[in-house]
Amino acid sequence: MRSQRFADLLTRGWVRLAGHLDTAECAALAKPQPLPWTEMAPKVGAVTQHGWFARLPFHGAPSPVQAFGSVMRATVSAALGQHLPEWTDATWQRYEPGYGHIDPHRDQAYYKGVILIVTLSGEAAFTVLESRDPPVTLDRWTTSGGDVVLLRGADLGALGARCPLHQVGTPTSGRLTMTLRHNERGYISWPTP
């Protein structure tokens, strides 16, 4: 991985690593079977969404998830010349074809450092926006299995910096993702809708 690419996290707020993982690596990061899926709340503030999630504290995630997360955090920390905080949360999300989505949103300000999203399987449009109303697109691509997207967490590079406004479109086939984040409040269970 080229270190210079990670500098984009400090300037524009996102980096896409297309095809970074192969099918076997994605399978190793899959949700543990006994961990149940929970339906997402259909609306959070102004944001509508439809899909399913499952979560664990990072230190309780399967060893391949912990190993991958540790390598990515160390790599990005070295490239940026700053120590990124440890991951607290490992979250898997499932979006159904023709219906699953999440509207333009920013991850909350208590998510610090870097937000790492791996598409394990499926495809969907991933859009980074300047504004929600009117919608002004800064970048858009189709994310697919093996892609890794890194988003700037709150305060990365400058006090007051925020996660970029982004959305995930409806997949044409089912889409599975795994996300790693650092919550400055520690791991907190989400309420079920």
| Beta strand residue intervals within the chain, DSSP E | 14-17, 38-39, 43-44, 47-50, 52-57, 89-95, 101-105, 111-121, 123-131, 136-144, 148-152, 165-168, 175-183
Residue 21: which residues within 8 A CB-CB, separation 6 or more? 29, 118, 146, 148
- CA distances (Å), origin 64, targets 44, 67, 68, 81, 89: 31, 5, 6, 25, 15
**Which pLDDT tens digit goes with each residue over 76-96?**
999 999 999 999 999 999 999
Max Cα–Cα distance, the chain, nearest Å = 43
The pLDDT of residue 4 is: 64
The CATH code for residues 3-24+44-183 is: 2.60.120.620
- pTM of the complete model: 0.94
Model confidence at 192: pLDDT above 80: no
Domain boundaries, the chain: 3-24+44-183
Query: Are the C-beta atoms of 184 and 112 separated by less than 8 Å?
Result: yes
The pLDDT of residue 57 is: 97
The H helix count followed by the E strand count for the chain is 4, 13
